[in-house]
Amino acid sequence: MTDQAPLLDAEPKSRFSRKTLNFLAFGLVSVIALLSLTGTESTENTQQESSAAQTAPPENAIRAIEQISPNIDLNWQSPEVHHWVNEAGARVYFVASPQLPMLDIRLIFNAGSARDATKPGIARLTNALLAAGTKQLNATEVAAGFEKVGAQFGLGAYRDMALIRLRSLSELNQLMPALDLLANIVSSPAFPADAITRDKNQMLAGIQHAQLQPGSIASKAFYQALFPDHPYGIAGAGTEDSIPLIKAVDLNKFHQQYYASQNLTIALVGAISVNQAKQIANRMTRDLPTGAAAAPLAKSPIGAPQRQHIEFESNQTHILMGTTAIRRDNPDRFALILGNEILGGGALTSLLGQEIRQKRGLSYSVSSHFIAMQSQGPFQISLQTRNDQTQQALDAILQVLSQFVEQGPTQQQLDDAKRQMAGHSLFSNASNAGIASQLGSVGFYRLPIESVFKNQLQVQQVTREQVKAAFQHYLDPKKLTIITVGSRKNSATDAPNSSQPDQ
């Protein structure tokens, strides 16, 4: 950061030695990490029940709900959120958290697989190869650089977004090298030939492995059925035809177009000042491409409902059913999320859990989700059941869903769900990483800034009538796409359309 005002000018002098700070940071971060494990950070992937939830008796889960006070103070003094657009066009969100000498950063680019166009897999490959070296450093030197200063670095690419994470101590002699290395990785990737070949081979192996997994087969078919003419239907992991076609020139072009400063949201949470946050944001964007922000995605069309069975030799049938639903900025999102907590989001205590698992013993677990994204994402219900119980399970699910859509929740169900979600909210704000994740989502999806810490206030104000109206507006149980993957031997399913998994 040699071309800007030194961060040292804005940094208060520490009263502790570096060794002491490192020890305190490690201990406190470990405690927070243990707390944060009780929550789930999921944007686009179906949540899975933890092993503890699967084995815990349902009465324990109900008792856990009752132990959450109905009078949780949701008006607690939330930290101030600073936000601005810097000179390079990046949207920046910052929360000061001086309690720990740490800084968490999220760089979120509008560069997910929805931007793959004619070469599925290019978004994930571009993101993964950021760690393979820069024009100045090889992969070993990159890894050693972060390790030397005790920083944690991570990557991820999804349908909507590509992201880069960094956690570092905020002491300047450790923070500055980590920031410079991060900026170098994001702005100047080398895309070395050997790394491209290695990662492409790994992706091809992953595709072949997925063809042997009924859950992966079902998920791919589900998205392709819901989004046949939309970027969300693209196979983000790539295909056996597309991966070999991706060259270094394609990766560089994708990086130049989508890893541009105006296509970036930056979230920072930690023990730095606003002035330091501005300098860091400027450092992150100084050497990035200066292209325009990505064009908005087209609206996801609501396709005709399908019933598709994919034959797969197995003892169980995987079921995915759902429809196109809502965007992330939909004003009915809180009513739908709260209602879904009752329907199938609350695991064993949900209506689907009680009916499908507890009463009928048709599945070990069943869940439902609204996956709200830039464009209209899906609502989906997922479970596994014995082949000969497939139709029975489908009938039971549709019965529960139809009744819930028609009648809505009871007041007791609504109150229990509000307490449950209030508990989730407390944990999501328990760590800097959790707050950074929320800041990144608010910036990326262009949500109101007050939603960072005030979502629960809106959830708690939702009424039974609003839940019922929202479900009736967005879900028609008679118009769902249903994907089943399993064996028809001894199966009572009568799906009219059958296909084989892609080879």
**In degrees, to the nearest 5, what angle opens at C-alpha 500 toward C-alphas 497 and 503?**
150
More confidently predicted of 274 and 71: 274
Over residues 194-207, the pLDDT tens digits come to 999 999 999 999 99
pLDDT, average across residues 204-227: 96
pLDDT, average across residues 478-502: 67
Same fold, 80-285 and 307-499: yes
Whole-number pLDDT of residue 9: 37
Cα separation, 56 vs 316, in Å, equals: 23
**What percent of the chain is helix, strand and coil (3-state, nearest 5)?**
50, 15, 35
Domain 307-499 belongs to what architecture? 2-Layer Sandwich (3.30)
Whole-number pLDDT of residue 32: 35
Whole-number pLDDT of residue 8: 38
Whole-number pLDDT of residue 126: 98
Cα separation, 137 vs 28, in Å, equals: 33
CATH class of the structural domain 80-285: alpha beta
Given CA atoms 337, 339, 341, 347 in this order, what sign does their dihedral have? negative
More confidently predicted of 78 and 283: 283
Whole-number pLDDT of residue 36: 33
Q: Tell me how far apart the 2 most distant CA atoms of the chain are, in Å.
A: 74
Whole-number pLDDT of residue 369: 95
Cα separation, 219 vs 236, in Å, equals: 12
Average model confidence (pLDDT) across the chain: 84
More confidently predicted of 142 and 489: 142
Each as own residue / partner, the long-range contacts of residues 132-137 (CB below 8 Å, 24 or more positions apart, any chain) are 132/189, 132/190, 132/191, 132/192, 132/195, 132/199, 133/189, 133/190, 133/192, 133/195, 134/184, 134/185, 134/188, 134/189, 134/190, 135/188, 135/189, 135/190, 136/184, 136/188, 137/181, 137/184
pLDDT of 69 strictly over 60: no
Q: Describe the strand order of the beta sheet including 316-324 as a list of residue ranges.
A: 366-370, 378-386, 316-324, 481-486, 307-311, 497-499
Cβ neighbors of 213 (< 8 A, separation 6 or more) are none
CB 336 within 8 A of CB 370: yes
CA distances, 501 to each of 278, 384, 390 (Å): 50, 18, 19
pLDDT tier, 499 (very low <50, low <70, confident <90, very high otherwise) = very low
pLDDT, average across residues 159-177: 96
Whole-number pLDDT of residue 456: 75
Cα separation, 494 vs 492, in Å, equals: 6
DSSP state of 115: G
Any idea which of 74-88, 124-138, 238-252, 313-327 has the lowest mean pLDDT?
74-88
Whole-number pLDDT of residue 402: 97
Helix (H) / strand (E) containing 156: strand 152-157
Residue extents of the structural domains in the chain: 80-285, 307-499
Any idea which of 170-179, 281-290, 385-394, 430-439 has the lowest mean pLDDT?
430-439
Cα separation, 445 vs 460, in Å, equals: 22
